A = this chain, B = another copy of it.
């Protein structure tokens, strides 16, 4: 059960763009695609992205500085993200695997840290790219 968030105009415009994209989008790519809708400055984009990340509608792919819509019906687990990334075609998929998320959410290291969040990125070759 997660809180519904009413997106503001800028947030909605930017979320729509990311959501319909088949690949992660970078901030300045987003900017150039929404300028016709009146969003003119980087900061307008970054502010919307920050909020969308915060509420779990999108995730940042850290190794790519790019943003992807949440694939898990707006991640209850926006604080527990895992992705697979093809190093050849750059296809990114959000991994939804309850065994994995349980394992990681329960993980304790010896230093006694209290974890509230994790991000995992797998790299390799997707099915399509393996056979090439």
Contacts and interface: CB of A to CB of B under 8 A. Distances in A.
Interface residues of A, number: 32
11 contacts: A62-B121, A63-B119, A84-B113, A103-B103, A107-B122, A113-B122, A113-B125, A116-B123, A117-B122, A117-B124, A118-B123
A29 to B, nearest CB: 19
Copies in the complex: 2
A115 B123 contact: yes
A93 interface: yes
Nearest to A110: B97
Given A86-B113, A111-B126, A114-B124, 6 more contacts: A97-B110, A109-B122, A113-B122, A113-B127, A115-B122, A116-B124
Contacts of A115: 84, 122-124
Contacts of A125: 113-114, 116
A100 interface: yes
Contacts of A113: 84, 86, 122, 124-127
B123 A117 contact: yes
A89 to B, nearest CB: 11
Contacts of A118: 120-123
